[in-house]
């Protein structure tokens, strides 16, 4: 059945992949983006599709459209971008959630919130289950994003309880792939860009801190499966790859795959930067029949090819 679907942040890294997938499944897509971190290049190939509509819109203002489903992805997600204007970051998460939940309430649309593993902060429990409540510094430099996303989850569950809005909440762990912004300061894009340019690779801390990396196609599979999951299953549900890698292991693999001459340089760890981040995904396996399938090396090869295209273009 063809559905009318709104994707906020639809020109961003994840949003552009989601728009492409939903269009390929035969749906009618409205992509809303204010282009703070999104890019028209990410969706240029979709603009001639009669079932794709692009709106330049900021979710901190109400949006009046008629839709069946809403994927709320609007928010800068990398520290470089969300710390650039922290007040606006918090407003995007909180006021944006209010506006999109209000739209869902009016249209009786199902709504999915792209939340984040950042709600766990610098975790004292490892790996992280959905029941863990987190260890977040509410006045730190990352709080605009961490606490903004935590408040958005609060709003989603209050609209669910108070107004019976049909909600889905996913907590996204580190994701990578084509359409990443080369200047977003994230570890995968940083390392790949530096390796391709044969410049020193910046390693924060001692490089022993760990992350779990999910390829974007796997992540989008999980997102759509959550949206289509049984009524009454709200989440929150972790979507990410449970295989853990240290930053040193990641850098060495990228140097090998790019044939780079880059050397590692070590710098102090930024404030409140988590030392570990790894999802427990048993709930996603049970409720969504989902788990990631693309191994890190395979995903990195595809991502490196994308970055070669934009760096040498």
On whether residue 300 sits in a domain, the answer given is no
Specify if 17 maps to a domain.
yes
Residue with tokens 């029941």: 131
47 in any annotated domain: yes
Residue 270 lies in a domain: no
Name the nearest CA neighbour of 177 among 304, 33, 24, 48. 304
Residue located via tokens 């580190």: 174
Q: Examine the pLDDT at 313 and tell me if it is beyond 60.
A: no
High-pLDDT (> 90) share of the chain, %:
84
pLDDT of 250 strictly over 60: yes
Question: Average pLDDT of the chain?
Answer: 94
- Domain assignment present for 183: no
Q: Is residue 249 part of a domain?
A: no
| Residue 80 pLDDT | 74
Supply the pLDDT for residue 205: 86
Q: How many domains does the chain have?
A: 1
For 228, counting Cβ atoms within 10 Å of its Cβ (0-12 exposed, 13-18 middle, 19+ buried), the class is exposed
More confident residue, 123 or 287: 287
Domain-embedded: residue 53: yes
CATH code of the domain covering residue 99: 3.40.50.720
Q: Indicate if the pLDDT at residue 312 is higher than 80.
A: no
Q: Which tens digits make up the pLDDT trace of 190-209?
A: 999 999 999 999 998 889 88
Question: Which of 49-58, 136-145, 149-158 comes out lowest in average pLDDT?
Answer: 136-145
The vertex-22 CA angle with 20 and 25, nearest 5°, equals 110
Residue 306: pLDDT over 70:
yes
Q: Which of the residues are catalytic?
A: 145
Decide: helix, strand or coil at residue 15: helix
| Residue 272, pLDDT above cutoff 70 | no
70 strand-pairing partners: 6, 111
Inside any domain, residue 251: no
Domain interval for residue 153: 4-177+215-241+280-293
Looking only at the bridges linking them, the beta strands covering 110-116 and 201-204 are unpaired
**Region 37-65: what's the mean pLDDT?**
96
Confidence of residue 59 (pLDDT cuts 50, 70, 90): very high
């Amino acid at each position: 059945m063809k559905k009318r679907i709104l994707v906020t942040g639809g020109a961003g890294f994840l949003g552009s992949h989601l728009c492409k997938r939903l269009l390929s499944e035969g749906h009618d897509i409205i992509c809303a983006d204010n282009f703070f971190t999104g890019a028209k290049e990410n969706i240029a190939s979709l603009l001639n599709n009669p079932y794709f509509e692009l709106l330049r819109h900021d979710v901190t203002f109400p949006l009046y459209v008629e839709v069946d489903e809403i994927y709320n992805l609007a928010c800068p997600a990398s520290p470089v971008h969300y710390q650039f204007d922290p007040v606006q970051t918090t407003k995007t998460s909180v006021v944006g959630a209010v506006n999109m939940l209000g739209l869902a309430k009016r249209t009786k649309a199902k709504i999915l919130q792209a939340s984040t593993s950042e709600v766990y902060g610098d975790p004292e429990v490892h790996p992280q289950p959905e029941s863990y409540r987190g260890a977040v510094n509410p006045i730190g430099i990352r709080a605009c994003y961490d606490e903004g996303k935590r408040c958005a989850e609060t709003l989603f569950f209050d609209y669910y309880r108070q107004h019976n809005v049909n909600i889905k909440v996913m907590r996204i762990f580190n994701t990578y792939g084509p359409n990443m912004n080369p200047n977003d300061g994230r570890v995968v894009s940083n390392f790949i860009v530096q390796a391709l340019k044969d410049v020193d690779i910046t390693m924060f801390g001692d490089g022993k801190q760990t992350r779990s990396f999910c390829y974007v196609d796997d992540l989008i599979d999980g997102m759509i499966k959550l949206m289509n999951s049984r009524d009454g299953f709200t989440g929150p549900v972790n979507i990410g790859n449970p295989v853990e890698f240290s930053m040193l292991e990641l850098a060495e693999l990228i140097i090998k795959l790019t044939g780079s001459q880059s050397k590692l340089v070590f710098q102090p760890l930024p404030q409140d930067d988590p030392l570990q981040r790894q999802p427990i995904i048993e709930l996603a396996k049970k409720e969504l029949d989902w788990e990631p399938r693309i191994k890190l090396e395979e995903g990195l090869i595809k991502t490196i090819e994308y970055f070669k295209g934009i760096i040498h273009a």
